[in-house]
Amino acid sequence: MDKVHIYDLELNEKEMIETPQVFNFNPRKDLIRKATEINQCNNKQIQGREKRAGLKNTAHGWGTGHGLSRAPRIKGSGFPTARNVGRVPFAVGGRRTHPIKTERKMEKKMNKKTKMFSLISAISASADASWIKSRGHYINNIPELPLVIDDKIQTIKKTKMLYSILCEMGFKDELERVKNSRKIRPGKGKRRGRKYKKHKGLLIIIKDDFGIKKASQNLPGVDVVNIDKISINHLAPGGHPGRLTLWSHSAFKNLNEYDKVIK
């Protein structure tokens, strides 16, 4: 079985451990896309319209003999034109035919085996250079994949110190790439609290948080997640596998639990 180095914070080789079998699994892009689609669907906020929307008016039909259609018209609106028609969905200004309802079932289910193997596929793709490059990450200065670092990185509480360590490990170009990718979002989203958008960058997977999450908040594109709470959205944002990942030593050892599933 292949082995991988454990690096300390100065990028010195500390020891070597065996690589979990999860990295030998051939990534299934179809499972990753399916799991992402289901997760995004389940995270949507339920929308609906008021049941009397479009009916809160005084419209009523005039009947026959007026040379006009019998569509209900709003009272006191002046000359009876099409603008004054209410209640009926076939007229301009009328109510919506079938408005969206909060009773609609948005949740989708996924088999346990599909969910597990989609996560395994995303983990395996995070250590494959071809998958990582296809997402646009810069990995030329990174010593090896998967990249594992000592657990002391979990105790870093200063952003400046974490940034310097990541630059020494070869992530400086990646951080600059994400920083320069910030641009104004097209469409209405720019006036709904999300004016800017940027690329996803480095993912740091840890076992325990002793301050690293707070230290990484101002680093562009960097996300820190616990190994117990990891999901397909972290490893394959948007359904695209191969996110650049940095593992802490303790989190990397927890991957041996997936070996039983593969066997």
> Same domain, yes or no, for 118 and 95?
no
Q: What integer is the mean pLDDT of 151-173?
A: 94
Distance CA 247, CA 145 (A): 10
> Same domain, yes or no, for 91 and 217?
no
CATH number at residue 172: 3.40.1370.10
Residue 180 burial by Cβ neighbours in a 10 Å radius (0-12, 13-18, 19+): exposed
Quote the domain boundaries for residue 183: 3-27+111-262
Comparing 79-83, 99-103, 219-223, which segment has the lowest mean pLDDT? 79-83
User: Does some domain include residue 144?
Assistant: yes
- Give the type of residue at 182: R
> Same domain, yes or no, for 69 and 116?
no
Q: Is the pLDDT of residue 137 over 90?
A: yes
Distance CA 136, CA 187 (A): 24
Q: How many Cα neighbours within 13 Å face the side chain of 260? A: 3
Q: Which of 105, 127, 157 is the last residue of a domain?
A: 105
Distance CA 235, CA 244 (A): 8
Q: Give how many domains the chain has, as a whole number.
A: 2
The confidence band for 60, taking pLDDT boundaries of 50, 70 and 90, is confident
Q: Which of 105, 121, 142 is the last residue of a domain?
A: 105
Of the ranges 50-59, 63-72, 184-193, which is most confident? 184-193
Comparing 15-24, 76-85, 179-188, which segment has the lowest mean pLDDT? 76-85
> Same domain, yes or no, for 141 and 100?
no
The confidence band for 63, taking pLDDT boundaries of 50, 70 and 90, is confident
Which tops the pLDDT comparison, 263 or 256?
256
User: How much of the chain exceeds pLDDT 90, in percent?
Assistant: 68
User: Does some domain include residue 36?
Assistant: no
pLDDT at 80: 55
pTM here?
Answer: 0.84
For residue 197, give the H/E element and its range: strand 196-197
pLDDT at 81: 56
pLDDT at 209: 92
| Strand blocks (E) in 24-108 | none
pLDDT at 169: 92
pLDDT at 190: 94
pLDDT at 67: 84
Average pLDDT, the chain: 90
> Same domain, yes or no, for 135 and 97?
no
> Same domain, yes or no, for 16 and 91?
no
> Same domain, yes or no, for 14 and 83?
no
Residue 227 phi/psi, 5° resolution? -60, -30
Q: Which of 90, 105, 120 is the last residue of a domain?
A: 105
User: Does some domain include residue 37?
Assistant: no
User: Does some domain include residue 38?
Assistant: no
Q: What integer is the mean pLDDT of 10-24?
A: 90
Residue 99 phi/psi, 5° resolution? -65, 150
> Same domain, yes or no, for 148 and 241?
yes
pLDDT at 222: 96
* Cβ contact 231:119 at 8 Å: yes
| Partner residues linked to 148 by β-bridges | 6, 247
Q: Which two tokens stand for residue 97?
A: 């035919």
User: Does some domain include residue 32?
Assistant: no
